[in-house]
Amino acid sequence: MPTTPEDLKQLTMLGSKDAKGGTIELFPNHAANRLQIKLLCSEFTSLCPLTKQPDFAEIEIDYEPDKWVAETKSVKLFLESYREVGIFNEHLAVELAEKFMARVEPFEVTVAVRFKSRGGIAISTSYRLVGAGLIPPVNV
């Protein structure tokens, strides 16, 4: 099914030069079966909460939408809203996944953050959430 004018009614950031981040916009999922979507952001920055030094990362959001799909530009702007936020790398994965789950309500979402090396150590963290009504994964 092609994108319809009805699908576009809720989107305000796409095509806007003045759009600011914070809210992930949504459009209807037309897939009859489960759709798998992977969003990759290779230019993410946030701040170390203690030193206020910039941290650079790649963010991967892998999700299975239910009723809604996240509009890509709004996700980009949402991620950019962290530029001046002091947050530990490990907390970031949890926060992004929880905010994404709350807004988009997918069947499941996994957020992986891969921070560049600073002081000789790179760090990768991932956090997975399963939507309501689904059986959570078993950790082995």
β-strands 108-118, 121-130 pairing: antiparallel
The Cα–Cα gap between 130 and 135 comes to 8
Residue 116 lies in a domain: yes
Counting residues of the chain whose pLDDT is more than 70, the rounded percentage is 79
One of 41, 55, 62, 66 is an active-site residue; which one? 55
* pTM for the predicted model, two decimal places: 0.81
Would you say residue 8 lies in a domain?
A: no
pLDDT at 119: 83
- Give the total number of structural domains in the chain: 1
pLDDT tens digits for range 70-82 = 999 999 999 999 9
Its domain, for residue 116, covers 26-130
> What is the mean pLDDT of the segment spanning 14-25?
66
Residue 41 bears catalytic tag = no
Could you tell me if residue 31 is inside a domain?
A: yes
Residue 140 — very low, low, confident or very high, per pLDDT cuts 50/70/90?
A: very low
15 φ/ψ sector (left φ>0, alpha ψ -120 to 50, else beta): left
- pLDDT of res. 15: 53
Give burial (CB, 10 Å; 0-12/13-18/19+) of 88: middle
- Tell me the CATH number at 35: 3.30.1130.10
pLDDT cut 90: percent of the chain above it: 71
Mean pLDDT of all residues in 109-118: 95
Examine residue 65 and state whether it is found in any structural domain, yes or no.
yes
Q: Which range has the top average pLDDT, 12-21, 48-57, 127-136?
A: 48-57
Residue 3 lies in a domain: no
User: Mean pLDDT for the chain?
Assistant: 86
Quick check: is 111 in a domain? yes
Domain assignment of residue 17, yes or no: no
Q: Which of 41, 48, 62, 66 is catalytic?
A: 48
Q: Residue 22 contacts by C-beta under 8 Å, 6 or more apart in sequence? A: 77, 78, 81
> In the Cβ-directed half-sphere of 3, how many Cα atoms lie within 13 Å?
9
pLDDT score, position 118: 83
- Mean pLDDT, residues 58-83 taken together: 95
